[in-house]
Structure 1
Amino acid sequence: YVQKHLQKHGIRVLTGVAAQEVLGDDKVSALKTSAGELSADLVILSVGIRPNTAFLNDTGMEMFKGTILVNEQLQTNLPDIYAIGDCAMVSNRMTHSAQWSPMGSSANLEGRLLAQILNNTPKKYPGVLGTGIVKLPELNCARTGLSEKVARDSGYDVETVMAVVDDKAHYYPDASSFITKLIVDKSTHKILGFQALGSGAVDKMVDIAVTAISLDATIEQCECMDFCYAPPFSTAIHPFVQTVHIMQNKLSHKLISITPAEYLAGKAKDYRVIDAGLVPSIRGAKYVDLAKVNAPIEGIDKDEKLLLVCAKGKRAYFLQNRLRHLGYTNTLSLEGGLFFNDVKVKTTSKLTPEEIKAVKALGFLQDKNTADKFNGRVITRNGKITAQESKVIAEAAEKFGSGEITMTSRLTVEIQGVPYDNIEPLREYLMQNAGLETGGTGSKVRPVVSCKGTTCQYGLIDTFALSEEIHQRFYKGYRDVKLPHKFKIAVGGCPNNCVKPNLNDIGIIGQRVPQIDYAKCRGCKICQPMNRCPMKTLNVVDKKITIDEKHCNHCGLCVNKCPFHCFDNYTDGYRVYIGGRWGKHVKEGQALSKIFTSKEEVLAIVEKAILLFREQGITGERFSDTIERLGFANVEAQLLADDLLSRKQENLKAQKHLVGGATC
């Protein structure tokens, strides 16, 4: 669950992969791993800690892997020598086996206790529970006590329950959910371990469990705990107590359920999936409206194996009770519901328009020749992919699609023939193995198109570098910003216009503006720069070279072509076109009057164009329509000023263009 959450935030997670070598000369360029090379500008090694105890190796002190073994009084095996903190191997509070817990919390508690022991206070250190917490993007994760595996390995008769509960009153602003896992001993009902995920105060949930475990509490002792309640802070029955209640129901067989781990292991493979949600949510499953179940359900046999699934698990439990009352004998409720589990049902039913629309937003457009296959667009940062990325895309096409790959008109890689049920596995495979995403649809900034730039003999600017910066700042940075319609950006390295920058909402073209030294011109009968000019804008008049600035496209082919060096100097820059478009109504964009000489100026123009379109465009119209309605001179004046940037936050916060106009 955590790995998928991080992937949704664009973070690639590689487990079981060895880092082998940092590559690069003056600075890092990549990290070589057992899964291939990962390009990088910065490498952070966060590999944990190791006790700094090598100076004790020849002292006779008893140690284990660098940690100092101590007893309940924190004594080592040597007289009058004690050890606490990150260097000390203490014990687990529950199993009493050795446990290393290098935490600042444990170290300080050990320090205070040792001070008392050294002052003849008869105390013992009880050990650690291994409590820990970590903050991830929009997700907090905490745990204490024994994990399920460690509890079983330690000889406990283990029962677990996984529950999704509200973290505060559901109607209160910013209300969210806790995902909790409670681990208990079946025979004694003592709490052994607890884990919690959520965007809210998971530390409060786990700290309650720490208290319960430390006091050897049973779940019965926790079922009526009088915790703080008010809608901003909690639910009327505290979420920790709710988890305890669910465990009580499971132990007493009022709830007969299956855990997510058991579901993944195939324990319910022979069960028919029943969708018990508030609305139908599982394609191919039989939907049962809980409110209408007052008699046996037509088409479902009472002895049939049924897996009941809802959003979080509560409605599935209610349905299970009702079905049991009606004589159904073999039902399982899926713990965590669809909130935590990915439930798929093999089906031949036709896709609904809503299902087609939902995957379109992920970059999967339906192949009109099929009923349930889609072509998925793989997003590249700047039109360029590495050999490793290309390999992963090819593997994904074979595993999840037809084995074919095409290029779209905007130089996007598209995997063909992906069945509907393969879309999420394909997306996970691309992210996990190459950090690649799918997308590029909807009324928002689209992936940037780039030509080869300076890798081409005519290229004047580094289009790859500029396109990657545009990709990061505006495709990814503005990914949640709704616009009146799609907004396309293209970067061309020279006026050859190979990727048609002037047929995009905003197009950037590399320029090389000659700075002619007229004093060096000799008025040659055969002028070399004039012969190289494809636009025929150079002429010799009265034995001096002249240039028609109005028609010069600044291709730079005249530069360094004069044997007398009057064309040696030049200025590199960018020409920006706005309001172009492809499609049914092709329109060439108009160039802004200024030739920009810095990348920062160009990036500012791109951002201002997006902000202007969002602020002043009408839902459903293209940027070219907005420019035509407002007037080119008006739009140019706004783009060359900074007022749009000063209104940026107000603009982005406004509830505008909730539908948009893009259909592809």
Structure 2
Amino acid sequence: MKVLIIGGVAAGTKTAAKLKRADRSVDVTLIAKDKDISYASCGLPYYVGGIIEDKSGLIVNTPQKYAAMTGVNVVTGIEAFKLDSENKTVLAKDVDTGEVSSYTYDKLVIATGASPVVPPITGIDKAGVFKLRLPDDAVNMRDYLKNSNVKKAVVVGGGFIGLEAAENLQVQGVEVTVIDFASQIMPNVIDPEIAAFVQKHLQKQGIRIMTGVAGQEILGDSAVQGIKTTAGELSADLIVLSVGVRPNTAFLQDTGIEMFKGTILVNDKLQTSLNDVYSVGDCAMVTNRLTHARQWSPMGSSANLEGRLLGQILTNIDKEYPGVLGTGIVKLPNINCARTGLGEKQARDAGYDVETLMAVVEDKPNYYPDADAFITKLIADKKTHKILGLQVIGQGAVDKMADIAVTAISLGATLEQCECMDFCYAPPFSTAIHPFVQTVHIMLNKLNGYLTSITPAEYLAGKADGYRVIDASLKPSIRGALYVDLAKVNGPIEGLNKDDKLLLVCAKGKRAYFLQNRLKHFGYTNTLALEAGLTFSDVKVKTTAKLTPEEIKAVKALGFLQDKTTGDKFNGRVITRNGKITANESKVIAEAAEKFGSGEITMTTRLTVEIQGVPYENIEPLREYLMQNAGLETGGTGSKVRPVVSCKGTTCQYGLIDTFALSEEIHRRFYKGYRDVKLPHKFKIAVGGCPNNCVKPNLNDIGIIGQRIPQIDYAKCRGCKVCMAVNSCPIKTLQLVDGKINIDDKHCNHCGLCVNKCPFHCFDNASDGYRIYIGGRWGKRVKEGRALSKIFTSKEEVLSVVEKAILLFREQGITGERFSDTIDRIGFENVEAQLLANDLLARKQENLAAQKHLVGGATC
């Protein structure tokens, strides 16, 4: 028997290998368009991030190695372009020469996979625009990152690959924004409330997420400088296109093969509508294992399984492909997300009588190091108690939760059959009752009526409107709610009628259930427990109660300072990255001020925009609105590196350096990069483009001032009675002495105004640089900073000094003192010597890991 396989990678190579192992006599030929036939496409983002160090790690098998190992005849660089199913012939051409060749078969396997969808965005041919499908894509992207000094990237598409690309770009020190046209990230993969939780988490981790936003045009000349979107322009040095894939099946259009939206329809034997033609992998449309409806699942895992099964079917082994569950997992910064089976809407659309549960259970005993929790959405059928789907997020091994669910769903297990599953237990691995089994227990409690609860999605939809919130946490956690100490409930609660509508809320949902159990015993008939509690939902209670100092302090850390004239309203600081904002950002800030504040906006002396008069309950909605619509954050308070401020730099007639570029780099490295680093006090940075000092760099903890140092050619000086250079010097450090030009180096501020002023070319040359002042401050005790003795000539030198100053302050400062106090205490010369050496950088990790300054000294 002669079998021809079109396509390699996962499905094609797996089919061929299994077929040859099952029957060595079969003549198997595999033709592939790409030179690489077997590579780890799912590993490409991790090559970009440097986790996979060498490209060779991406190549599973070379054509030569694969052919020798399997006995398959492998031909690469050949693209099939015509199928004649009646004559069982495939025409293909050499991708380099165009030479046409003909291949005959007894059985044909189409495993041509899929290619990235190219969205209709103008300018995608510019340098710096990448897809992630082939090893060369990842190699080229990592090279571009290294060679083009990429600082900002925009990922178009919030699916698995797009989010993995975002994480790995961030690992490389790039500031990342993800945009997606859908209303949520990972659309059609996880349910909306799970997606919203993950999105908030990613934004806290520094990855900007904007949903409901479409890309329109790549900006820049020959290379990427930004992207125009429906939400305005986003600056970027690199663009990743990851909006999905499309089956590689165009060559089959006139063959009569049955297809749907480009996918090849196959039956449970993986046969197509054409005789002796089969299809597997990303180009094939299989079925859903639960509903038996058609489902496209372009995943490496299912491609391998389909290929292996088809290898057996082709040797007349009687097997059937049961379909897919759409199982998937993604690793993200400090959180993992997995899913399998049906989502809630899918299950309802399929006709199931659906019950859902959101549960928070520990992944290991809480006393064990690195213990965390699984937040799990379990979907089951009310009538049969069979598990239909599961979605889980957490820092730990979410794969084992999803994999157990895969097993249960595949075997048609009921919740009761999972109730006493005897899983492994030891503290490093699990809790005594496995987290999956705990989740099953909670679902059974809900189905059996022991737990009467409301899901986070139902809470957001208003199902608990009219209910009084009861705080069942270990300690009071919900402002304005009645706090009930579970341990003290031994009868009816004073002030609560037994027919009152009560919403019971705690941190994770467990104590709320325990309280509900007691209240039911004492005759309370109308209680709801909020599933997943405050871990998942932001519960607010309208109240006139006075804010506590803890509540005021908590929102101050988010950039909201109490308005002393009102007491219950706040002024929120919007981080504008050195005072420069786009027209769209300005529009969104204005809209936010109208929607959530008093409608007034002010500018602080640090060039930060403040939205005035924001009620306490509007703080989180305001923050979400700013991030979602413009990617803007609030903050800039606390004992940390503060947002950098700069003057207009080279856009000003006196500007000597590009202050915006430098200040954005400082913002990225030290405000963003050091956002979790606690310092003795606040640490302010300012960048001035020239010695005019418009933003007062020398009154900051560290200030950088652009310099232009004239290189005087004294031989060309003619001692003119009226010297143009002397007249141009605003502080009179240039003078004619004995008929020759003289410069007072001690007092020259290197403003550069004398450069090119001499008609005889004495001042034609100059070197640009940076002067750094340390230990300045304003406020109650104003102090001017002192300049380091060296004039720095490179931006990297300046950035290094800034980092060393922060590290020195953290390491040697005393909690509560300003940087100027630290300098005074240990001596300017000592500090300068440390800033010009590299010892501070050598012990950086030890310094940052130290538990220091946990209660900082900043009051605002």
Matched, 1:387 2:583: yes
Contact residue 639 and residue 857 of structure 2 kept, 8 A: yes
Contact residue 210 and residue 631 of structure 2 kept, 8 A: no
Q: Which amino acid aligns with 1:560?
A: N
Q: Which amino acid aligns with 1:358?
A: A
Structure 1 position 279, deviation (Å): 0.5
Matched, 1:23 2:236: no
Percent identical:
84
Of 455-464 and 75-84, the range deviating more from structure 2? 75-84
Structure 1 position 309, deviation (Å): 0.5
Partner of 1:314: 510
Q: Which amino acid aligns with 1:507?
A: G
Q: Which amino acid aligns with 1:213?
A: I
Q: Which amino acid aligns with 2:749?
A: N
Q: Which amino acid aligns with 2:804?
A: K
Q: Which amino acid aligns with 2:303?
A: A
Q: Which amino acid aligns with 2:700?
A: N
Matched, 1:581 2:801: no
Structure 1 position 90, deviation (Å): 0.9
1:527 to 723, 740, 751: 723
Contact residue 509 and residue 575 of structure 1 kept, 8 A: yes
Partner of 2:644: 448
Contact residue 504 and residue 527 of structure 2 kept, 8 A: yes
Structure 1 position 11, deviation (Å): 2.1
Within 5 Å, give how 1:262-301 maps onto structure 2: 262-301=458-497
1:106 to 302, 306, 318: 302
What SS does the corresponding residue of 1:472 show, helix, strand or coil?
Answer: helix
Structure 1 position 128, deviation (Å): 1.0
* Whole-angstrom CA distance in 2 between matches of 1:526 and 1:624: 44
Partner of 1:35: 231
Partner of 2:7: none
Q: Which amino acid aligns with 1:265?
A: A
* Whole-angstrom CA distance in 2 between matches of 1:603 and 1:108: 49
Matched, 1:185 2:401: no
1:623 to 819, 844, 854: 819
Q: Which amino acid aligns with 2:213?
A: V
Contact residue 362 and residue 371 of structure 2 kept, 8 A: yes
Structure 1 position 55, deviation (Å): 1.0
* Whole-angstrom CA distance in 1 between matches of 2:440 and 2:523: 28
1:55 to 251, 260, 263: 251
Within 5 Å, give how 1:602-641 maps onto structure 2: 602-641=798-837
Partner of 2:573: 377
Structure 1 position 137, deviation (Å): 1.3
Contact residue 382 and residue 468 of structure 1 kept, 8 A: yes
* Whole-angstrom CA distance in 2 between matches of 1:503 and 1:538: 27
Contact residue 61 and residue 78 of structure 1 kept, 8 A: yes
* Whole-angstrom CA distance in 2 between matches of 1:647 and 1:181: 44
Partner of 2:324: 128
Partner of 2:759: 563
What SS does the corresponding residue of 1:519 show, helix, strand or coil?
Answer: helix
Partner of 1:146: 342
* Whole-angstrom CA distance in 2 between matches of 1:660 and 1:271: 40
* Whole-angstrom CA distance in 1 between matches of 2:357 and 2:837: 60
Partner of 2:115: none
Matched, 1:406 2:605: no
**After TM superposition, what 4+ stretches of structure 1 lie above 3 angstroms from structure 2?**
none
* Whole-angstrom CA distance in 2 between matches of 1:35 and 1:654: 41
What SS does the corresponding residue of 2:388 show, helix, strand or coil?
Answer: strand
* Whole-angstrom CA distance in 2 between matches of 1:539 and 1:195: 77
Structure 1 position 431, deviation (Å): 0.9
Of 647-656 and 50-59, the range deviating more from structure 2? 647-656
Of 249-258 and 114-123, the range deviating more from structure 2? 114-123
CA offset digits 1:528-587 (Å, max 9, x no partner): 111111111111111111111111111111111111111111111111111111011111
Contact residue 11 and residue 435 of structure 1 kept, 8 A: no
Partner of 1:430: 626
Of 634-643 and 341-350, the range deviating more from structure 2? 634-643
* Whole-angstrom CA distance in 1 between matches of 2:837 and 2:412: 68
Within 5 Å, give how 1:135-214 maps onto structure 2: 135-214=331-410
* Whole-angstrom CA distance in 2 between matches of 1:490 and 1:98: 60
Of 10-19 and 161-170, the range deviating more from structure 2? 10-19
Q: Which amino acid aligns with 2:680?
A: P
Partner of 2:444: 248
What SS does the corresponding residue of 2:848 show, helix, strand or coil?
Answer: helix
Partner of 1:344: 540
Matched, 1:644 2:840: yes
Partner of 1:500: 696
Of 263-272 and 22-31, the range deviating more from structure 2? 22-31
2:453 to 232, 257, 265: 257
* Whole-angstrom CA distance in 2 between matches of 1:460 and 1:15: 39
Q: Which structure 1 residue ranges, 5 or more long, are not aligned?
A: none
* Whole-angstrom CA distance in 1 between matches of 2:312 and 2:803: 63
Q: Which amino acid aligns with 2:568?
A: D
Q: Which amino acid aligns with 2:481?
A: A
Contact residue 677 and residue 848 of structure 2 kept, 8 A: yes
Partner of 2:560: 364
Contact residue 377 and residue 413 of structure 1 kept, 8 A: yes
Contact residue 231 and residue 584 of structure 2 kept, 8 A: no
* Whole-angstrom CA distance in 2 between matches of 1:92 and 1:144: 11
CA offset digits 1:190-213 (Å, max 9, x no partner): 111111111111110010010011
Contact residue 206 and residue 672 of structure 2 kept, 8 A: no
* Whole-angstrom CA distance in 1 between matches of 2:325 and 2:433: 26
- TM-score normalised to structure 1 length: 0.99
Contact residue 211 and residue 628 of structure 2 kept, 8 A: no
CA offset digits 1:281-334 (Å, max 9, x no partner): 011111111000001101001001111111010000000010001011100111
Q: Which structure 2 residue ranges, 5 or more long, are not aligned?
A: 1-196
* Whole-angstrom CA distance in 2 between matches of 1:245 and 1:431: 38
Contact residue 272 and residue 305 of structure 1 kept, 8 A: yes
1:228 to 415, 421, 424: 424
Partner of 2:59: none
Q: Which amino acid aligns with 2:562?
A: Q
* Whole-angstrom CA distance in 2 between matches of 1:516 and 1:345: 71
* Whole-angstrom CA distance in 2 between matches of 1:456 and 1:484: 35
Partner of 1:397: 593
Partner of 1:468: 664
Q: Which amino acid aligns with 1:558?
A: C
What SS does the corresponding residue of 1:303 show, helix, strand or coil?
Answer: coil
* Whole-angstrom CA distance in 2 between matches of 1:93 and 1:641: 64
* Whole-angstrom CA distance in 2 between matches of 1:433 and 1:39: 15
Contact residue 683 and residue 819 of structure 2 kept, 8 A: yes
Structure 1 position 91, deviation (Å): 0.9
1:73 to 227, 252, 269: 269
What SS does the corresponding residue of 1:438 show, helix, strand or coil?
Answer: coil
CA offset digits 1:610-641 (Å, max 9, x no partner): 11111111111111111111111111111111
What SS does the corresponding residue of 2:750 show, helix, strand or coil?
Answer: coil
Partner of 2:5: none
What SS does the corresponding residue of 1:14 show, helix, strand or coil?
Answer: strand
Structure 1 position 409, deviation (Å): 1.3
CA offset digits 1:247-300 (Å, max 9, x no partner): 111111010111111111111101111111110101111111100000110100
Of 27-36 and 554-563, the range deviating more from structure 2? 27-36
* Whole-angstrom CA distance in 2 between matches of 1:598 and 1:502: 20
1:554 to 750, 769, 775: 750
Q: Which amino acid aligns with 2:249?
A: T
